[in-house]
Amino acid sequence: MRGHSVPSFYTKMKFKEQVKELLEKGLEEHPSLFLIDFSISSDFKISVVIDGDNGVTLQDCIDVSRSIEHNLDREEQDFSLEVASAGATSPLVLPRQYKKNVGRTLEVLTDTEKYEGKLIEASDDSIVLEWKSREPKKIGKGKETVVKTAEISYLSIKKAVVVISF
């Protein structure tokens, strides 16, 4: 492959470390923002997904993008960059995302069950969901509405999404 250089593993690792540092600095300047996902493909396409305690604005994405892009030299390494916010339908990943969604309805899938309920609490280790259920009366005929809760450890959550209702 004469005349065409393939970036070495070392070059890719060095580039990734450089981008990661710039990304961390960019996020430090915006304390309400936090990283959800970060990757660099083999053809140097940088993908960053962020979320924020108060949501993410277009300006937030631009600011984070600039903190990376303006500090890299395209002459040294050509790249493409995409900074996006975690979408409304994206699964929740970090405890910080659960905490910002307290009061909203979640659909949570664990190894053994599927829950849908209002997120009433989010700690560093688990969440608490609450929902109403129609159950047979303890005495007499018919059904009654019962409020139920479940504490679910983050470790047992396979997938959790905010239920969008109109």
Tens digit of pLDDT at every position of the chain (166 positions): 444 455 678 788 899 999 999 999 999 999 999 999 999 998 999 999 999 998 899 999 999 999 999 999 889 899 999 999 988 788 999 999 999 999 999 999 999 999 999 999 999 999 999 999 999 988 889 999 999 999 999 999 999 999 987 7
Q: What is the CA radius of gyration of the chain?
A: 22
Q: Count CA within 13 A, CB hemisphere, residue 32.
A: 10
Question: How far is it, in rounded angstroms, from Cα 92 to Cα 89?
Answer: 9
> What pLDDT does residue 56 have?
92
Spell out the alpha helix ranges (H) of 29-117.
Answer: 58-69, 95-100
Question: How far is it, in rounded angstroms, from Cα 70 to Cα 91?
Answer: 31
